[in-house]
């Protein structure tokens, strides 16, 4: 139709900037916010605060947000990641206690359970043809209930039974860098490679860009969707492992609400809720912006209630800024 704007001319650099401007702006905002808090309270920039406070508190949400990025790029949504994480923690904790598993089989088990929960979402969406919002809303409530039932409403204190479980998050393979942070970084790099270099990643973008066209091109879209939701679940499982390692226990009621923080990180990072567009690095930046804000505001001794308001405002600003940019570029907006 004639209202499509053509982008012709312009050299590669401007094209690159235009394409990457979302992430560039997010990164710039992160630097600005960081600098602001450092000027206000120099202790903010101390490595103890950065690694033990900011980075450490980004790990669980960050891992979930990586998984959710894949799902959102397909044009879907996963509301179940928060309570699924609790369910994975509870199932893993119970099994480890009963079967006396070692740390490695415990980790594998957690990732496996997460993957299965994710695959269930994928099957509900593709086989029963439920909209992702509804399917994952249902599994969110289901997982919440099951976590409470299986745990009998009590925290499962299993970590001390497994030698080395606490080291998963708190050890230091790299000096001065908590393992949890290392896990997040490695996971982000691997996820980024999957998204940009593999067949699964290509189909993630293709499905989000135009599902029907992808299907008609002979791609088995349903199978790939199940795989993508399962992959999201795998990262949720990883999140659960890091969480239990940090806390030393599986908390059945901890996780509800995390899904929205993960989704917020993805959106602040410039991934489009309409699908077809997004990056892992953007998501990590988004997650960092939120932890930096929370951490900084806490150091400034702003009441927690106000911290929520600020985070809400940041989400608004991030998406509004993105819209303005797209409108200028002539793209469709959210």
Partner 1 sequence: MSSAQLLSVSGVSKEFPGVKALNNVHFDLNEGEVHAIVGENGAGKSTLMKILSGIYKKDSGDIKYKGNSVNITSPFEAQKLGISIIHQELNLMPHLTVAENIFIGREDRFPGGIFLNNKKLVAAAVALLKELELNLNPNDIVGELTIAKQQMVEIAKAVSYRGSVIIMDEPTSSLTPAETDALFKIIRSLRAAGKGVVYISHRLEELEKITDRITVLRDGEYVKTLKTSETNIPEVISLMVGRTVAQDQRPENRVIGSDIVLKVEGLSDLHLLRDISFDLRKGEILGFAGLMGAGRTELARAIMGADPKTSGTITLHGKETHIKQPSDAVAAGIGYLSEDRKRFGLLLNQDVTFNVILSSIPSFSNKFGFLKVKSAAGIARNSISQLRVRTPSERQFLKNLSGGNQQKVVIAKWLTRDCDVLIFDEPTRGIDVGAKDEIYRLLTKLAEEGKSIIMISSELPEVLRLSDRIAVMCDGRLTGIIDNKDANQNVIMELATKFSDKFTTVN
User: Quick check: 23 binds partner 1 (CB under 8 A)?
Assistant: no
Beta-carbon count within 10 A of 242 CB: 27
From 42-50, 184-192, 207-215, 247-255, span contacting partner 1 (CB under 8 A): 207-215
209: contact with partner 1 by CB under 8 A: yes
**Is 324 near partner 1 (CB under 8 A)?**
no
For partner 1, the closer of residues 38 and 210 by Cβ is 210
CB of 196 to partner 1, least distance (A): 9
Q: Contact at 8 Å (CB) between 334 and 272? A: yes
Q: Does 2 bind partner 1 (CB under 8 A)?
A: yes
Q: What is the spatial distance between Cα 29 and Cα 43, in angstroms, rounded to a whole number?
A: 20
- Tokens representing 132 are 């992702």
> Residues 33, 137, 177, 219: which binds partner 1 (CB under 8 A)?
219
Residues 258-317 that bind partner 1 (CB under 8 A): 276-277
| Both tokens assigned to 121 | 């979402």
- In the three-class reduction of DSSP (H, G, I as helix; E, B as strand; rest coil), residue 279 is classed as coil
Contacts of 207 (CB under 8 A, 6+ apart): 74, 75, 214, 219, 221, 224, 225, 228, 275
Site string (166-205) toward partner 1, x via CB under 8 A: -------------------------------xxxxxx--x
CA-nearest of 239, 17, 24 to 117 is 239
Pick from 23, 41, 215, 325 the residue near partner 1 by CB under 8 A. Answer: 215
Span from 2-10, 153-161, 236-244, 305-313 in contact with partner 1 (CB under 8 A): 2-10
Regarding 13 and contact with partner 1 (CB under 8 A), the answer is no
Helix (H) or strand (E) holding 138: helix 132-151
Smallest gap from Cβ 279 to partner 1, in A, equals 12
Residue reference for tokens 């928060």: 82
List the one residue from 218, 304, 305, 328 that touches partner 1 (CB under 8 A).
218
Report the 10 Å Cβ neighbour count for 216.
10
Interface with partner 1 (CB under 8 A), residue from 72, 206, 225, 267: 206
List 25, 210, 281, 323, residue binding partner 1 (CB under 8 A): 210
d(CA 100, CA 158) in angstroms, rounded, equals 10
Cβ proximity to partner 1, 274 vs 313, nearer residue: 274
Buried b (16+ CB within 10 A) or exposed e, 158-174: bbeebeebbebbbeeee
Sites of contact with partner 1 (CB under 8 A): 1-4, 6-7, 19, 197-202, 205-206, 208-210, 212-220, 276-277, 331
């Amino acid at each position: 139709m004639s209202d499509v704007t053509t982008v012709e001319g312009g050299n590669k650099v401007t094209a690159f900037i235009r394409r990457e401007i979302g992430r560039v702006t997010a990164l710039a905002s992160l630097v600005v916010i960081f600098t602001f808090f450092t000027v206000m309270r120099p202790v903010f920039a101390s490595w103890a605060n950065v690694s033990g406070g900011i980075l450490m508190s980004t790990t669980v949400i960050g891992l979930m947000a990586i998984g959710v990025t894949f799902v959102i790029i397909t044009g879907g949504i996963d509301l179940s990641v928060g309570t699924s994480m609790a369910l994975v923690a509870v199932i893993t904790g119970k099994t480890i206690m009963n079967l006396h598993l070692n740390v490695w089989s415990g980790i594998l088990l957690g990732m496996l359970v997460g993957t299965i929960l994710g695959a269930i979402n994928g099957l509900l969406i593709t086989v029963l043809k439920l909209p992702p919002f509804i399917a994952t809303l249902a599994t969110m409530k289901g997982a919440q209930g099951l976590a409470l039932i299986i745990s009998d409403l009590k925290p499962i204190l299993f970590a001390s039974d497994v030698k080395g479980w606490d080291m998963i998050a708190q050890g230091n393979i790299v000096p001065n860098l908590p393992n949890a942070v290392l896990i997040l970084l490695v996971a982000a790099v691997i996820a980024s490679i999957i998204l940009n270099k593999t067949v699964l990643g290509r189909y993630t973008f293709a499905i989000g860009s135009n599902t029907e066209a992808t299907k008609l091109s002979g791609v088995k879209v349903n199978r790939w969707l199940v795989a993508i939701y399962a992959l999201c679940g795998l990262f949720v499982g990883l999140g659960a492992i890091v969480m239990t390692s940090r806390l030393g226990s599986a908390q059945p009621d901890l996780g509800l609400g995390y899904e929205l923080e993960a989704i917020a990180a993805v959106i602040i990072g410039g991934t489009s809720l309409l699908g077809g567009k997004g990056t892992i690095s953007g998501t990590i930046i988004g997650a960092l912006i939120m932890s930096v804000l929370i951490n900084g505001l806490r150091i400034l001794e702003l009441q927690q209630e106000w911290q929520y308001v600020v985070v809400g405002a940041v989400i608004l600003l991030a998406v509004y800024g993105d819209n303005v940019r797209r409108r200028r570029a002539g793209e469709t907006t959210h």
